[in-house]
Amino acid sequence: MIPAPPVRLLARTEGGRAWPVLVWAPGPGWRAVSSGIVGGGLGPRAWWIDAQVDKEYFHPDPVAHAGEIAAGLGLAPDAGVAMLTAADVTRWTHPTEAGVAVAATVGLGLPVLAAVPPEVAAREADEPVGTINLLVVVPVPLSDAALVNAVVTATEAKAQALAEAGLRATGTSSDAVCVACPDPAQAEPEPYGGPRSLWGARIARAVHAAVAAGTADWFSGMSVPGDRLPG
């Protein structure tokens, strides 16, 4: 297994106030698959950030803004993954499971079901949004297929945690995920990332624990009216 530095909770200054941001910066030698607005796709990645923004966030170019935040933290442009969230980043959850580390921020302003009629999706456009952002760090190389499979496994574990919390939802409409691992050039990559594979099972347990803890914490500070629960 290849050790990686832990995620750090830092802060940036913008608009005259401090904003928290999670930063994971292992440097070269890592690759990731991600749906982040910056650094999405599959390829070498040297850092990941999850930056808190205002609940009424509006920026004409969120991609550029996320890149500016990363640059302000001294991170090399175009070398990492950036995510944005209105959730309280200081309440992040970060369980580990036999070498797998997860960092999660959970916002549940609008939990949704993935498959709904168009008219339901249209109504959601007028509601407050929420976001569940996930970083999953695996200490062994994964093949391309295993990385993609790991995203599926993490998503299934997220949905399981939400269901167990009583939410008729599979996530939110703006969830993002990043699964990172050492570059396969360093060792033979693991071929599988499904929930019954060695590392997939560890990913599932760690993500489940992270989202379950984040969901419980979110409910402890906020309430979700029943008519916001898809059904």
Q: What is the DSSP string of 125-160?
A: TTSPP--EEEEEE-SS-B-HHHHHHHHHHHHHHHHH
Residue 135's CB: how many other CB atoms inside 10 A? 29
Confidence of residue 223 (pLDDT cuts 50, 70, 90): very low
- b (16+ CB within 10 A) / e for 32-45: bbbbbbbbbeeeeb
Q: What's the fold here for domain 8-221?
A: L-amino peptidase D-ALA esterase/amidase (3.60.70)
Confidence of residue 167 (pLDDT cuts 50, 70, 90): very high
CA distance 64 to 71: 10
CA distance 168 to 228: 10
Cβ-based neighbours of 220, under 8 Å, separated by 6 or more: none
CA distance 170 to 46: 30
Prediction pTM value: 0.92
Per-residue pLDDT tens digits for 66-102: 999 999 999 998 899 999 999 999 999 999 999 999 9
CA distance 129 to 108: 8
How much of the chain, in percent, has pLDDT values that exceed 90? Answer: 76
Terminal-residue alpha carbon distance, the chain: 43
For residue 145, pLDDT over 60 is answered with yes
